[in-house]
Structure 1
């Protein structure tokens, strides 16, 4: 789940109103950025996710023009042929500036329509380096889009495309780094929350959210001209909504974990004034998923790391009593700030305790430069 997408999509709206310049001014704060959003169309004009809404595949791999915000999101823990660990992240966001029915015919590109804006993030992490790149494009003029069948999501030459039935290919080129990998889901999609409706507060705001929690991945990464063969496993999220986070929600902690025992865990904590809203999903080795409410698990910070943008909680304890889970989740050594329009922390983690494994951790709202 990419809760940073809510904040990033707010920034996208401001960016496109400024002319879609690649040199965007940094927003001043989470709450300030969300509160200053004014794109004409309001949230009430868009389709609203609600409990009881159903996810339909493969159709929901494609875009949802009636909703305000959505994203496609991949993380992966890979190993080179030499045995070195590599982390990979790719995300593409769509922000609608006005609602549109899926049956509507888009205006012709020559009319220079301004109905949506897209942003893509890509990162590559090793034991010594963290690379990040960001791209922005207007929608509906041929620079970025998505389709369900055949499945494809792209922004210029960054692309995730279906190659064979059930297999995908991701190609990304950054500055002095790149990756070209194939992905194949080894399990059916998992629907989070109430059969796909994932609440984001006690008052009921939420999104539609599903994941492929076990992707077989192989291909190449290129770092400063040196190409490496890589293989490993990944996690793919798909999520859409029309509701930005409230101004009293100051940040987000999210993790996706792949346990060596075959279990999978998604857990998040939305930090609210005076409290936190937590939820998650347990997926057993047999693929059976259980929605986790706050009473079902605990998620606590054990330690933090000093970084150039302020302290970041990089060591966590996660307990799920019903599944005999008592684990520590620890970020790799290093600095994993993605320094784009809105900086956030995203990097690989290792899992120890009653279970071992690997995964990814995303943290927003810790950047002291934007407070």
Structure 2
């Protein structure tokens, strides 16, 4: 009996030691990342060296499903799901999920200083409330990763599982103290390769560009668990899913964007991007996906994007809260207004992101992401 108790004590001590080591390692890695984020919440020091990465050029086409994989030859990539959902009583929620892989070049690498950082961020909001959570991990120890057959993208116990080597149809599951969600997702339209076969230029003159994949209309059905709400909430709605990768991360101090997506009544989908780089005029482009699946790329001369009103969040960030969007050739004239202004998200990579109310030429639902304000 003493040996039995002694064995259990040794096992307990071993488990506690393992948890302590993992905790210290996680704290070391988080501290390393925070050290690389300067006082203005810019990740510029983190991306100081790009010489070892492949260039983003229009000589290479995006290929599906191969390019759902990670691209370690490029410095960063990120997935974004922007969803407008409602419960059975018509109460509206915005749901945002972001997954990022960020790399850095550090010659003095140690065991917890791996050159790949993985971030996952989830936000649920309504008109008056915000629920948010964030996870981060380094590469190399299995806390985060991507596998196929079937598709599986994960960070800790937050994961996206497909039923094949494609992410859609799929199930997104997240669980934290603040919120939880289980969302079944089905694409109502084929995946889209915007720009030149997935190559997207972000400015008029310079070489700033990314590779891109979009799913413009994703049908959502599932449940939300929110801190302070006693029962799970059944929801359904529509979302825009995107994946981007390259070397010019758009959330740096000098490079930012205003991105709005709209699901127009009748099945037409619209994405508008206004890229901002210090020293250059804003560069606006767009993407229209018709109900037939036909894709129309919009150049800067075909899109008018005008900020109209500003608002200040409770944590002191002033941002353009209302936008006027015009695509004259397709009789689109929309005004988008933030549904809840207090959605500046103070994550390691900070930005404003949330659903918008839409009025104008079309009945529509929309979502907005703003960086650099």
Q: TM-score, normalised by structure 2?
A: 0.84
Please show how residues 244-323 of structure 1 align to structure 2 within 5 Å.
Answer: 244=249, 249=254, 251-272=256-277, 273=279, 275-308=281-314, 309-323=316-330
How many residues align? The count is 338
Mapping 1:50-69, distance limit 5 Å: 50-69=57-76
2:351 to 344, 347, 350: 344
Please list the CA deviations of residues 263-321 of structure 1 after superposition, one character each: whole Å capped at 9, or x if unmatched. 11111112233521111211122221111111011000111112232321111111111
* Contact in 1 for aligned 2:312/2:341 (Cα 8 Å): no
Residues 215, 233 of structure 1: 8 Å contact kept: yes
CA–CA distance in 2 between the matches of 1:176 and 1:342? Answer: 19
Q: Which of these residues, 181, 184, 188, is aligned with residue 183 of structure 2?
A: 181
Structure 2 stretches of 5 or more lacking a match?
Answer: 1-24
Counterpart residue number, 1:29: 40
CA 1:246–1:233: 2 relative to 1, 3 Å: closer
What is the CA-CA distance between 1:33 and the residue it aligns to? 3.8
Q: Which residue of 2 aligns with 1:145?
A: 145
**Contact 1:199/1:207 (CA < 8 Å) preserved in 2?**
yes
For residues 37-70 of structure 1, give each alpha carbon's deviation from its aligned partner in whole angstroms, at most 9, with x where no partner exists: 367xx32311222113111111111211211100
2:340 alignment partner, one of 317, 333, 341? 333
Question: Conserved in 2, the CA contact under 8 Å of 1:132 and 1:174?
Answer: no
Once structures 1 and 2 are overlaid, which stretch shifts more, 305-314 or 220-229?
A: 305-314
Report the Cα offset of residue 98 of structure 1: 5.5
Counterpart pick for 1:71 among 78, 81, 91: 78
Q: Which residue of structure 1 lines up, in the alignment, with residue 16 of structure 2? A: none
8 Å CA contact 2:214, 2:243 repeated in 1: yes
When residues 244 and 215 of structure 1 are mapped into structure 2, their CA distance, relative to the original with a 3 A threshold, is closer
For residue 16 of structure 1, report the CA deviation from its aligned partner: 9.2
Q: Is the 8 A contact 2:29 2:112 kept in 1?
A: no
CA distance in 2, matches of 1:94, 1:143: 13
TM superposition shift of 1:87: 0.8
Q: 1:89-111 CA deviation, whole Å, 9 max, x = no partner?
A: 11110113369xxxxxxxxxx97
Contact 2:340 2:354 in 1 (8 A): no
SS at structure 1 position matched to 2:163: strand
CA separation of 1:117 and 1:247: change in aligned 2, threshold 3 A? closer
CA distance in 1, matches of 2:47, 2:245: 20
CA distance in 2, matches of 1:180, 1:22: 32
Contact persistence 1:157–1:172 (CA under 8 A): yes
Q: Looking at both structures, which has the greater relative contact order when contacts are Cα pairs under 8 Å and sequence separation is at least 6?
A: 1
Distance 2:341 2:43 in 1: 28
**Could you tell me the TM-score, scaled by structure 1's length?**
0.84
Shift of 1:155: 0.3
- Distance in 1 (CA, whole Å) between partners of 2:254 and 2:306 is 18
